[in-house]
A and B are shown apart, each in its own frame.
Chain A
């Protein structure tokens, strides 16, 4: 059963897409029905962070073994993570429009953190495309990947805790887990996180197989 995670991912995402719209949610001021975006916006970020963590994991593995497959995996995971950042950003922007009344705000460190993460990965892809030699490219990009990821984690995790944020759970705003996320929502939210992560792994798997074939064809 090597396909179990594809089936599980599809079922979970379909379940959360449908029941996320049907199931009852708490009535809260300002949030109102937009609270349902929690099922789509947050799990997509989780999937992105998961893929980027996979990318740095493979970068470390590449530096310790020198196997080109780890480099391919690292690059592809970064691409999949980057791909997930776009719907994450769009759903977040839409949500911000209806709750904070703006598409984008500089008051929130998480938004800035995401913008920085996107810039970092764009720089990573640019760095990869500017080196022709394969081994050199793999080494350099692995080094930059690790360095940039650590700095990004510092940015995303530490800074928001010291400044005010509009996001729940930071800077005096209550977290979802404490007050808003009731048991009904948990039934959808946790499967959604699992589902999107599994789907992202499926995408990575397909991409990886394609790029490995490409690599063999070009040799």
Chain B
């Protein structure tokens, strides 16, 4: 059954992640130090649009860095085992689900530390939060596929960022606009269209990953 295999794989991912304390802790320290460095560079209050842009740039780099390793584990023996036991669709879906959870958690942690070090009043926090969740899940979808591609192409970090930055741009620009509206505290009617696009992009990315990953899988 597909669903049971997917849950199996997702469970395995979480187990591996929690077993290696270093990897989760590493992510946390990475985020905190990046946010702290930017806070030190800024030092005082900054205009809203700069605050917004800086936040999304930090999040972008954190997501790309973290997701680079998501296909590294599959490099040698594990890859063959997975190949024999799971279908490519369930495999990429489990990766996307795991990455989505990871990214959403990371983005919330980033938001927490970022607004701790560089305070900013957010007018419509619910809208900001929804944007954050939708965008980071979209990031997870895109980055799962691009990290699979980068892993097949000898897995270097610069290739990963070069491949994913331009593809992430539509998501990023929509969410920057949305979160600016949220900080300004605009009403929901203004942002409704953009939220819909964000949801549609999420669905599109997952569908594309599902469609294309099987071709990366059999080689």
What residues of chain A have their CB less than 8 Å away from a CB belonging to chain B?
Answer: 63, 112, 116, 119-120, 122-123, 126-127, 130-131, 135-136, 139-140, 142-144, 146-148, 150-152, 154-155, 158-159, 162-163
Query: What is the CA–CA distance of A163 and B177 in the complex, to the nearest angstrom?
Result: 10
* Residues 134-169 (chain B) with a chain A CB within 8 angstroms: 142, 145-146, 149, 152-154, 156, 159, 162-163, 165-167, 169
B19 to chain A, nearest CB (A): 31
6 of the cross-chain contacts (CB-CB < 8 Å) are: A116-B169, A120-B166, A127-B153, A130-B153, A139-B219, A143-B213
Does B162 contact A131, Cβ atoms closer than 8 Å?
Answer: no
Does A151 contact B170, Cβ atoms closer than 8 Å?
Answer: yes
Tally of A-B residue pairs with Cβ under 8 A?
A: 77
Does A159 contact B173, Cβ atoms closer than 8 Å?
Answer: yes
What residues of chain B have their CB less than 8 Å away from a CB belonging to chain A?
Answer: 142, 145-146, 149, 152-154, 156, 159, 162-163, 165-167, 169-170, 173-174, 177, 193-194, 197, 201, 204, 208, 212-213, 215-216, 219
| Contacts known (A139-B219, A154-B204, A162-B197); A148 close to B152, Cβ less than 8 A | no
Query: What is the CA–CA distance of A139 and B149 in the complex, to the nearest angstrom?
Result: 10
List 3 A-B pairs, minimum CB-CB distance, nearest first. A119-B166, A120-B166, A155-B170
Query: What is the CA–CA distance of A162 and B198 in the complex, to the nearest angstrom?
Result: 13
Q: Which one, A126, A150, A163, contacts B162 given CB within 8 A?
A: A126
Does A123 contact B173, Cβ atoms closer than 8 Å?
Answer: no
Does A147 contact B216, Cβ atoms closer than 8 Å?
Answer: no
A140 to chain B, nearest CB (A): 5
Query: What is the CA–CA distance of A189 and B166 in the complex, to the nearest angstrom?
Result: 32
Residues of A within 8 A of B170 (CB): 151, 154-155, 158-159
Does A146 contact B212, Cβ atoms closer than 8 Å?
Answer: yes
Query: What is the CA–CA distance of A63 and B13 in the complex, to the nearest angstrom?
Result: 29
Does A151 contact B152, Cβ atoms closer than 8 Å?
Answer: no
Query: Dominant SS at the A interface?
Result: helix
Query: What is the CA–CA distance of A154 and B146 in the complex, to the nearest angstrom?
Result: 17
Residues of B within 8 A of A154 (CB): 170, 201, 204
Residues of B within 8 A of A144 (CB): 146, 149, 163
Does A155 contact B169, Cβ atoms closer than 8 Å?
Answer: yes
Q: Known contacts A136-B219, A147-B212, A151-B170; can you find 5 more A-B pairs with CB under 8 A?
A: A120-B166, A120-B167, A126-B159, A126-B162, A154-B201
Residues of A within 8 A of B194 (CB): 162
Query: What is the CA–CA distance of A63 and B153 in the complex, to the nearest angstrom?
Result: 17
| Contacts known (A116-B166, A116-B169, A119-B166); A147 close to B208, Cβ less than 8 A | yes
Does B166 contact A139, Cβ atoms closer than 8 Å?
Answer: no
B175 to chain A, nearest CB (A): 12
Interface centre among B165, B194, B204, B212 (most CB of A within 10 A): B212
Query: What is the CA–CA distance of A59 and B169 in the complex, to the nearest angstrom?
Result: 23
